[in-house]
Each structure stands twice: as structure tokens, then as C-alpha cells.
Amino acid sequence: CRASSDGKPEKFQPPPKPVIIDKQKQRAERRFLSPEFIPPRGRTDPLKYYMERKDMIQRRKVFNIPEFYVGHVLAVTTADPYANNKSNRFVGICIQRGGKGLGATFVLRNVIEGQGVEICYELYSPRIQAIEVLKLEKRLDDNLMYLRDALPEYSTFDMNMKPVPHLDDEEVRVNKLQVRMKPKPWSKRWERPKYNIKGIKFELPESKMKEAQKWSQPWLEFDMLREYDTSKIEEQIWKELNEELKK
């Protein structure tokens, strides 16, 4: 019993209420629309994309395709008639996501027993039985094809890797890793500004870097017709997706 300053027993002060941060609202702010939903610029009938979207949503209701970006480490199990358990598991880093609509693909790369292996999977193929994201990590570029010319240590991932824990409502962190390359010649001239790669640590002499800048096209960023503003289309597709998936 606390002895008060004026001798009377003090009024009971309840302990402070715990503050509950409503994570639901914060999670709703983070929206990710998979890039294969956004239709490309062109003269095709939007009906084609609408029909493809319906099929994609149908597939997503049955099978969960997680949110992933280029640079994530994924494990994919596909159905294989010639394998032991009729299924085949492959772990790799996603180096590119291509295609729109039902033909959307992603390429996983890994180095197995010294041999680099890249497998291109179709997201909506019925042969895929499970996709798990093992490591959530965005990289500085959208296209990690330069890993082919990088030292093999950057592409090796253990086949029995344990999934790295990641909280659902945090932002996906960007790994600002600068990759070291094998000596030239490379499959593509990655130092040229056309590829706009930020994730390589170029150890080339200054003269080579200056020579590569000769191929830069500074007028391209001012060419207004090349811009494709997808914000309205994305809003529409996001609403459509959410409505369909709630059913």
C-alpha cells in the first residue's frame, strides 16, 4: 500500500493500456500488382487481356503464387514424369521476370556442382506444384542476367536452404550488393549505358568506361512518346483483382 503525501489512501490508478497498432491497415497500404497483369502498349484488343486475366485469377484461386521480385531466392517443385517421386525441386535466384498474361515466365539460376543452371518456369503452368520464397531480397536492377558473367559464388545457393524468416508487413529490403565479375569477354557488354546496370563493381580502367559512354543516348529520357503511364490501368486491374479474389 502506498503512503500518500497527505495521509489519505490514493485513488487506484489503473496501469496504462497497451497500445495495439492495427497491422491490418498498414498491410493494406502495401500493394503489389504482379507485372504480368499490366498489358503492354499495342494495338491488341483489350478483350484478349481481360480473358487472360480471368484465367489467371482462376489459377491464383487454386494455387498460391507469392509476391516475389527479381533477386529473390525461390524453390519451385514441378511435376516430372521421369523423376523419382514424380516431382522435381529446384532452388535458385530469380534473374528475370518476363512475358505478360498467362505466358509469364521467370528464370531461376543456380550453380550445381560447378555448372551454372538456369531454368525458365511459367508462372501459370499446371505442372508447377509449389512455389516457396526462401529469401526476400530485392536487388538494384530489374534484370540480373549479368550473374552469368559474375563469379560463381554470387549464384550458388544451397538446394536444402532453409527459408529466411521475414515479417509480412515490412518493406522488402534492397540489397545494394555490387557483384564482382569474371575477366572479360562477357556475354554482353554490361558496362554500356543501354543496360543501365547498377549492381556491378566495374574494375575496368577509366578509359574503357569513358569509351562505353560513347553509346549513351541522352535524348532518350526526353523522348516523351516512349513513356507508358500505367497508373490508371494498374488501379483498375488492382480493383478487379481484389474483387475477384475475395469471392
Question: Which residue lies nearer to another protein by CB, 168 or 227?
Answer: 227
Is 43 among the residues that bind another protein (CB under 8 A)?
Answer: yes
Query: Who's near 138: CB < 8 A, 6+ residues apart?
Result: 69, 70, 71, 72, 172, 173, 174, 175
Question: Which residue lies nearer to another protein by CB, 113 or 229?
Answer: 229
Is 185 among the residues that bind another protein (CB under 8 A)?
Answer: no
Among 42, 81, 114, 183, binds another protein (CB under 8 A): 42
Closest Cα to residue 164, out of 73, 46, 49?
A: 73
Question: Which residue lies nearer to another protein by CB, 44 or 236?
Answer: 44
- Residues found in the chain: 247
Is 231 among the residues that bind another protein (CB under 8 A)?
Answer: no
Angle at CA 101, nearest 5°, toward 159 and 43? 145
What's the closest the beta carbon of residue 43 comes to another protein, in angstroms? 7
Is 225 among the residues that bind another protein (CB under 8 A)?
Answer: yes
Q: How far apart (Å, rounded) are the C-alpha atoms in residues 12 and 15?
A: 9
Among 12, 82, 222, 228, binds another protein (CB under 8 A): 222
Question: Which residue lies nearer to another protein by CB, 25 or 43?
Answer: 43
Beta strand pairing call for 87-98 and 105-112: antiparallel
Beta strand pairing call for 115-122 and 105-112: antiparallel
Contact 136, 71 (CB under 8 A): no
Question: Which residue lies nearer to another protein by CB, 40 or 116?
Answer: 40
Total interface residues for another protein by CB under 8 A: 8
Among 113, 203, 206, 223, binds another protein (CB under 8 A): 223
147: helix, coil or strand?
Answer: helix
> Under the rule (CB under 8 A), what is the footprint of another protein?
42-43, 217, 219, 222-225
